[in-house]
Copies of this chain bind each other. A is one copy, B any other.
Amino acid sequence: MSTPAIEATDSESVATTLRARRLGLTAAGNDLIAVMRHDCPVCRSEGLASRAQVSLRAGDHEVVVSLLHSSGDTPAPGEIGLSETAWHRLAVRDGDLVEIAHAQPLASLSDVRRRVYGNRLVEEAFSAIIGDIAERRYSDVHLSAFVTACSAVPLDRNEMVGLTKAMVDVGERLSWPGAVIVDKHSVGGLPGNRTTPIIVSIMAAEGLIMPKTSSRAITSPAGTADTMEVLAPVDLDVAAIRRVVEREGGCIAWGGGVKLSPADDVIIGVERVLDIDAVGQMVASVLSKKIAAGATHLVIDIPVGPTAKVRSADAADTLSTALTSVAEAFGLHTRVMCGPGAEPIGRGIGPALEAEDILAVLQGEPGAEDLAYRACELAGGLFELAGATPAGGGFARALESLESGRAWTKFQRICEAQGGMRAPPVARFQQDMIAPHSGRLVSIDNRKLATVAKLAGAPMAKAAGVMLHNRLHHMVEAGAPLCTIHAESPGELDYAAAFAVSDGAIFGITAE
């Protein structure tokens, strides 16, 4: 076989620009999508037909999108159709020129592959990986591989420090006047347990600074941001957070709105689909956001129970050690407080239902005493860690703030400062789960209960979730409601109720 004469490619070069066309497409998963015609000359000359991803550029904006090929009417030849997210990230208008090119091979993927093969990574590797993730250059397949590899062979301390640092470095960073900035985090896994808005109200009412940013749900039916959002706006930018904290000493904002750890927001999206939450990622996720938020003193709540996220004292120890040891590397004072995790804390599960509990606690109404108690324990720990009360004096000070009504006044003022307080929505569709016989309630499967709330639509459907009517160790009567499923659509109510009935016992009741 002979080598044919070399054909110059420059003379064959064609324009690699297309005209933007807004398609109005959105998706719950990865929604950076572009559509081009299969017979498009640019597609043919660039050999894009076999590519799953391409790079698009318009002006200063660049984005890597998943590529769909169309043989239909839309887009027209010479056009490139864009999903809503791609459209906004490229900041184009209909007909604007968009340059299309092969997505560059990402150098950081070779480090992901090394981790997938079970090797450890150094700080520089995490830096490169997290930089590319923050820029949304990774496909879902690559994100999932990175997250999974860091879970199957757990991150060691050096890796956790490297990942945490990389996450802080790609985000915004807040700083505050004053030597003590308090913060609180719960590792979650326990439905309800929405102590944060109560704690912020207490700390700020007592004169401490607590600029709290919270996440939305990762694998749970609600994150603090989801719940707080039914009571007041949480999507605040840095300037708005500063304004609220300057005025009230505290805020309860959504962390994603300030891009404290933009890579973590992308990673959390994949963890949500996988329904996993590994120790190393959790440590980096939590601490990167606290460090970026400018916290100096941090209390971490770890609920421990047979169906909570952390199921044993051993597991709590592992997580606790990882958190404090990595926090130390960044000079962050941290106190881990393990707590009860056998049943939900509060009665509501899901954004609106949890918000009802928070209002009850702040207003001194009965029904969610366990939530009030846990909030005072954690707030008390924070008072002590920050040196605001002597050791042993924190709980009483927190309780006094609550009982005096000062915390409730402060909460209303924070809501007003964040854009105005509002009332939680009520679900239109509800269905009771009935006790099949009388007896003592001896176990609650938190995971299954959370799944029911999620199938009912939480956290996206704000009013959806589960309202509990009984607490552990109490007697229940045959035929009495154990809980009520709330949903915003009949399809979701059916979906959740079918799972609740089919998937084994959520509530363990002794024989009569």
Cβ of A94 to closest chain B Cβ, rounded Å: 12
A505 contacts B by Cβ under 8 Å: no
- Are A13 and B71 interface neighbours, CB within 8 A? no
A66 partner residues in chain B, CB cutoff 8 A: 27, 29
A489, B51: Cα distance in complex, Å: 14
A141, B28: Cα distance in complex, Å: 13
- Are A489 and B44 interface neighbours, CB within 8 A? yes
A148 partner residues in chain B, CB cutoff 8 A: 116, 144-145, 148-149, 152
A49, B481: Cα distance in complex, Å: 30
CB nearest to A84 among chain B residues: B71
CB nearest to A113 among chain B residues: B276
A27, B43: Cα distance in complex, Å: 13
Copies of this chain, tallied across the complex: 2
Q: Which of A161-169, A321-329, A493-501 contacts B (4 or more CB under 8 A)?
A: A493-501
A494 partner residues in chain B, CB cutoff 8 A: 9
A13 partner residues in chain B, CB cutoff 8 A: 490
A7 partner residues in chain B, CB cutoff 8 A: 428-430
Option from B26, B152, B356 in Cβ contact (under 8 Å) with A38: B26
- Are B27 and A52 interface neighbours, CB within 8 A? yes
- Are A69 and B152 interface neighbours, CB within 8 A? no
A475 contacts B by Cβ under 8 Å: no
Option from B45, B490, B492 in Cβ contact (under 8 Å) with A490: B45
- Are B47 and A360 interface neighbours, CB within 8 A? no
A109 contacts B by Cβ under 8 Å: yes
A140 contacts B by Cβ under 8 Å: yes
A16 contacts B by Cβ under 8 Å: yes
Mark out the residues of chain A between 1 and 19 whose CB falls within 8 Å of any chain B CB in the assembled complex.
Answer: 1, 3-4, 6-7, 9, 12-14, 16
Cβ of A389 to closest chain B Cβ, rounded Å: 33
A105 contacts B by Cβ under 8 Å: yes
- Are A23 and B273 interface neighbours, CB within 8 A? no
- Bitwise interface map of A from 261 to 279 toward B, beta carbon under 8 Å scored 1, else 0: 0000000001001111010
Q: A26-B38, A68-B26, A152-B117 are contacts. A457–B50 as well, Cβ < 8 Å? A: yes
Cβ of A113 to closest chain B Cβ, rounded Å: 6
